[in-house]
Amino acid sequence: MMQLLKNVRLAQGVVRQHLTDDPVILFLQLSRRLPSAVLPLAKRLCKLAPKNSTSAAVLFAALAAGDDADVERRLRIAADGSVEGEQARRLADVALAANLPALSDDFLTKASTAQRLKQARARRLWYDGDVSGAVEALNGSGAAGQRQRARLAAEAAILTDASPSLERRPYEPVPGRILHLLTNSLPHTASGYAQRSHSTLLAQQEAGWDVLAVTRMGYPVQVGKLLAKSTDTVDGIRYQRLLPGTMTQSIDARLQQQAEELLAVALDFKPSVLHTTTHYVNGLVVRAVAQALGIPWVYEVRGQLADTWASTRGPEARSSEKYRMFQHREAEVMQHADLVLTLGTAMKANIIAAGVPESKVLIAPNAVGGDFLTEPLDKASARRELSLAEDGQFIGTVSSLVPYEGIEDLMAAFALLAADMPQLRLLIVGAGSSMPSLQIQAQRSGFINRIIFTGRVPRSQAALYHQALDVFVVPRKDLEVTRSVTPLKPVEAMACARPVVASDLPALAEIVEDGVTGLLAEAGDPVSIATAIRKLLSETQLAAKFGAAGRERVLQERTWAANAVALARELEMLGVTNR
C-alpha cells in the first residue's frame, strides 16, 4: 500500500509538470498508453465531426487516431481562417505536436495577443533544437513560464556540462557482481531495448555472474504503471525500481537524486563493475557512482539518439545547437567509460570518430538465445499454434511501429503484390506511435481483410511469429540513425531460418548478405521492396536456401552466450572477474 501511495504521488508530479510544459504532448502520451480506451472514441469523434471543424476536441481526436492527413487538412482550414489570440496559440501547439512546424509558425504569427505566447514560442524553438533561444524566449514570462524556463535551463545545463557529483566512499566490491542501469525493462516494456537487456542479463547469469538490473528513477510509474512494485523478477533476473515518492523537478537535480539512489543500491549489492546503456544521461549517473566507488564502468552504445531525434525534423536538425550539444555529451561519456560496447561495425566507426580509442570499443552484436536456438517449426505448424490460416503466403515484420521503421513502405509494397497474389497476407507484429496511421493506411488500401495487426505479443510467442512468415521484411527509411544502428528482429528472423528482405543500408547489410541470406532493396521504394519479396515468394527453393544460410550464420556468430564470453574477456583485462 505504501508503494502504491508513493507511485500515485510520483504520477501526479509527472502530470503536473507536463500540464505546465506541454499539455498537447501529455494528451498524446496518455492516448498512446491507453489505446483501447482512447482510440475508438477518437475515431468515432473524427467520423461524426463536420469536415471543416477545427475545434480543439476534434484536432486532439485526429491526433490520437493517427490520421495525419486529417490533422493537416483541418489545421490548414484554420490557418486560412481568422483565428487569433489564444485559439491561434493552441493551434500552434497542435501543429507542432503533429510535426508541422511551418503551420505552427503561421499560427504563432496570428497569436500575438495570446497570454501564453512566450511558452508556445519557446516550445517551437526547442523543437528546432535552438536550446539557447528557447530559454531566452521565456524571459519576462509569468509564473508558469518561469517554471518552464527553469526546466529548459536545466536541460541546457545537462546538455552542456552539468553532471551528478558524489563523494568517494570506502568500498570493497564482491567479485563477479555486475550492476546494470537501464532506461526500461521487462515486464513493463517489451521493446527491442528491453529484450536485449534481458538476454544480456540471462547470458551473464548463465556464465556465472551475479547480476542486478536497476531502472531509471521513476520508471515504470512514469509510463503509466501505477501498480508497479519496487522489484520484479523475470526468468530469475531481478529488476529493482527507483520509485521515490517525489522527484525533483529539474533534470539536473533529478540526475543527482538518481545518482544518490543508485549509489545506495550499489553499496548494498557491492558490484565489481557497473554497466549502462545509451543515452548519455545514464552514463553521467553511472560515471558518478563508479567514481565514488572506485570501480570500472561499461557504456553500451545501442543507438544514436541524437540522430533518432533529428530523423523526425529533417536534415537541418543535424546542424542545430541541440544536436551538436547532444553529440558532444555522448562523446564525453564514451571517452570516460572504461569499456564501450556497440552493435556493429558502422556504429564502431562512429564511436572511434568521436575520439574513443579503438582498443576500448567492443562489438557485441544483436544476437539470439532461448527459443531461437531450437530447431524452428515449419510455417504451417507455427501458424496453427497462432491460430493463423495455414494455407497461402505470409509476409511481414516484427517491430516497434515508429516512423523510421518504414512500415508504411512495406504496406505499400504489399498492396502492389496483393492485386495478383490473392493468397498473400501481411502480418504486422508490434505496437508503437505509428500504429493508428498504419491502420488507416490499411483501411484505405483495399486489402484490409488480408492485413493483420497483432499489437504487442507475449515474448513466448515471438519466435512463432517469425516462423509463421514466408519472408521477413525490414523496410527501414534511409536516415542517419538507420544507416548506423543494427536492429535485433532480422537476426531473430534469420535464426528462425526465414529469408529476409531489408533496406539497402550499411547497418542492415552487416546482418543480411545480399544473395546469401536474403535480398536488399532500395530504402523508401515500395516497388523495389515488392520486387524482392516477389522473387523470394516465387522461388521457394532459393528462399529456403537463404533461410538455412541465415540460421547457420546466426548460430555461429550471433548468440548472447558468445557476447557474454567476449565481454568477460574484456572485463578481465580491467581486473574484473566472476571468480
Q: Please say whether the beta carbons of 528 and 522 come within 8 A.
A: yes
Tell me what percent of the residues of the chain surpass a pLDDT of 90: 83
CATH: 3.40.605.10, 3.40.50.1820, 3.40.50.2000, 3.40.50.10860. Which one for 375-558? 3.40.50.2000
What is the helix (H) or strand (E) element at residue 300, kind and residue range? strand 297-301
Q: How confident is the model over 304-322, as pLDDT tens digits? A: 899 999 998 988 999 999 9
Length of the chain: 579
DSSP state letters, 461-511: GHHHHHHT-SEEEE-----HHHHHPPPSHHHHHHHTT--EEEE--HHHHTT
Residue 32 has pLDDT above 70, yes or no: no
| Domains 177-363 and 375-558 belong to one CATH topology | yes
Residue 432 has pLDDT above 70, yes or no: yes
Q: Does domain 177-363 have CATH number 3.40.50.2000?
A: yes
Mean pLDDT over 5-23 rounds to 73
What confidence category does residue 171 fall into, taking pLDDT thresholds of 50, 70 and 90? very high
What confidence category does residue 518 fall into, taking pLDDT thresholds of 50, 70 and 90? very high
First to last CA, the chain: 40
Residue 523 has pLDDT above 70, yes or no: yes
Q: How confident is the model over 176-222, as pLDDT tens digits? A: 999 999 999 999 998 889 999 999 999 999 999 999 999 999 999 98
Rg for the chain, CA atoms, rounded: 24
The domain segmentation of the chain, as residue ranges, is: 2-114, 177-363, 375-558
Closest by Cα among 390, 441, 389 to 415: 441
